[in-house]
């Protein structure tokens, strides 16, 4: 590659100008651009077309090198001048440093130190604005940062430090809301917080659609969900707040029900759905409300399995549905009597019947091919063993005498394990994966804990 054709400062100026050019960019792509004809960085190394911002991938090494030179220079200036909480640093330097970091992170989104420096500069700017105006509420301050991060995530959705920064920004916003909520039980503030969280959740959906099963997006969504539950359900006697939170959780659950139909292998979504359902059942006070939630939960799973019975994640969703339902009965049982035991027994029996119907299907048809049928059979058999094991291990949460249930379930799990081993030995292998050796099931079935 030739010597750098333009200076570090020019590289940053070129790119930073595009970041602020109307219409503001919303999509970033590092790719092969059509125009650059040689190795030198110039204006054609970057392109902005409406809301789309592109960086020429072959030029990235030199662009990164240029930006880093500037970054190191600014960093040393800041460290030298940072003797008074940063207040001695000129605005010009702060702006240029921020632009430099913005450009660097577009290429290296997991650069922990760059994110740290960015936070320092944001804190400095925020403090300056707050010092200048007592009534400064600060919410709008974070708009540009959110916009920048939304842009970054269109290209780099798997950078842990980028998500860490997003969470940090959210916490700064949350502090503002908590301060407003503390001053008075201002339902306007509560509504705004919910709106803010909803926007953040919408981002998670956009990212999850573009980058399926994105661990960070779904984990962040879970963080937002818990934040809403913790911050809005502030008093047990505030029914409005509780209803609003329950409504939010129900809408999230409905979203998952629908999402899984179009993203049948999205385990992250299934896990999140389980967390939402657990929270919803905890908040729901009426028995009829809880029963409705449980019914819809299992129904959604049944509908999915009718269509996608050969998919592992859809069977795991069934495990989640079973677990959440089972646990919710166990939590209630301290207030109830034998009805709860009957509900649990009925749940397990119904699930065995349900799972068995899939396990027993023996012939491929026009609706299910041989390979899919094998998958369906093994997943359903595993499901039956899994739920029986779960029920056995967690039945000690039941205050009542569960020994008769225990005996029945122990018999059933042994029966299922035998059946699995028989089918396994005929097929000579579990087609959905070479695992599940007999040893595993021997341990599950005949371990000391089951007597």
Query: What is the contact surface with another protein in residues (CB under 8 A)?
Result: 1, 57-58, 60-62, 64-65, 68, 72, 75-76, 107-108, 110-116, 119, 160-161, 164, 167-168, 213, 215, 218-219, 222, 226, 265-268, 271-272, 274-275, 311-313, 316, 319-320, 323, 327, 382, 389-390, 393, 431-437, 439-440, 443-444, 447
Query: Which helix (DSSP H) or strand (DSSP E) does residue 46 occupy?
Result: strand 46-49
Closer to another protein by CB, 73 or 406: give it. Answer: 73
Distance CA 337, CA 130 (A): 58
Q: Which is nearer to another protein, 283 or 432 (CB)?
A: 432
- In the bound complex, what is the minimum distance in angstroms from residue 78's beta carbon to another protein? 12
Instruction: Kindly tell me which of 173 and 189 has the beta carbon lying closer to another protein.
Output: 173
Residue placing its CB nearer to another protein in the complex, 96 or 263: 263
Neighbours of 421 (CB within 10 A): 15
Q: Given the complex with another protein, which of 130 and 167 has the nearer CB atom?
A: 167
DSSP 88: T
Q: Residues 148, 153, 154, 157: what is their CA dihedral angle, to the nearest 10 degrees?
A: 170
CB of 349 within 8 A of CB of 406?
Answer: no
Judged by beta carbon, residue 13 or residue 265, the one nearer another protein is 265
CB 157 to another protein: min, Å? 15
Q: DSSP per residue over 384-451, as a string? A: HHHHHHHHHHHGGG-SS--HHHHHHHHHHHHHHHHHHHHHHHHHSS-TT-S---HHHHHHHHHSGGG-
Q: How far is the CB of 250 from another protein (least distance, A)?
A: 19
Element (H, E) at 72: helix 60-81
Q: How far is the CB of 22 from another protein (least distance, A)?
A: 29
Q: How far apart are CA 98 and CA 144, in angstroms?
A: 12
CB environment 19-33: b (16+ within 10 A), e (fewer): beeeeebeebebeeb
As measured in angstroms, the least distance from the Cβ of 136 to another protein is 23
Q: How far is the CB of 27 from another protein (least distance, A)?
A: 19
């Amino acid at each position: 590659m030739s010597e750098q054709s333009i200076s570090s400062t020019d590289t940053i100026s070129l790119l930073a100008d595009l970041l602020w050019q109307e219409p503001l960019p919303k999509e970033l792509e590092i790719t092969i651009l059509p125009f650059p004809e040689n190795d030198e960085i110039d204006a054609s190394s970057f392109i902005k077309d409406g809301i789309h911002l592109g960086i020429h991938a072959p030029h990235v090494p030199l662009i990164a090198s240029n930006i880093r030179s500037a970054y190191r220079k600014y960093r040393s200036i800041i460290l030298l001048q940072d003797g008074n909480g940063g207040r001695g640093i000129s605005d010009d330097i702060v702006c240029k440093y921020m632009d430099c970091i913005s450009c660097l992170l577009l290429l290296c989104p997991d650069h922990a130190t760059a994110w740290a420096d960015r936070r320092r500069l944001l804190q400095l700017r925020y403090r300056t604005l707050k010092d200048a105006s007592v009534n400064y509420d600060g919410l709008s301050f974070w708009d540009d940062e959110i916009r920048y991060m939304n842009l970054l995530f269109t290209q780099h959705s798997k950078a842990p430090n980028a998500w860490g920064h997003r969470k940090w920004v959210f916490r700064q916003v949350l502090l503002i809301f908590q301060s407003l909520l503390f001053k008075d039980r201002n339902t306007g503030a509560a509504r705004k917080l919910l709106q803010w969280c909803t926007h953040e959740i919408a981002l998670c959906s956009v990212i999850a659609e573009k980058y399926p099963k994105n661990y960070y997006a779904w984990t962040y969504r879970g963080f937002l969900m818990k934040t809403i539950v913790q911050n809005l359900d502030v008093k047990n006697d505030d029914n409005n707040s509780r209803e609003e939170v329950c409504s939010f959780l129900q809408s999230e659950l409905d979203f998952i029900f629908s999402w899984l139909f179009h993203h049948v292998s999205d385990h992250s979504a299934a896990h999140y759905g389980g967390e939402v359902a657990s929270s919803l059942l905890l908040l729901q006070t009426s028995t009829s409300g809880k029963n409705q939630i449980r019914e819809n939960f299992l129904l959604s799973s049944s509908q999915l399995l009718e269509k996608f019975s050969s998919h592992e994640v859809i069977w795991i969703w069934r495990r989640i549905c079973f677990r959440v339902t089972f646990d919710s009965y166990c939590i209630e049982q301290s207030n109830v009597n034998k009805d709860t035991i009957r509900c649990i027994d009925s749940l397990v029996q119904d699930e065995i019947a349900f799972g068995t119907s899939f396990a027993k299907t023996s012939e491929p048809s026009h609706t299910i091919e041989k390979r899919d049928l094998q998958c369906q059979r093994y997943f359903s058999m595993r499901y039956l063993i899994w739920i029986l094991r779960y029920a056995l291990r967690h039945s000690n949460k039941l205050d009542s005498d569960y020994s008769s249930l225990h005996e029945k379930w122990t018999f059933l799990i042994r029966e299922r394990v035998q059946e699995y081993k028989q089918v396994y030995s005929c097929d000579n292998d579990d087609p959905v994966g070479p695992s599940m050796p007999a040893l595993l099931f021997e341990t599950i079935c005949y371990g000391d804990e089951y007597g």
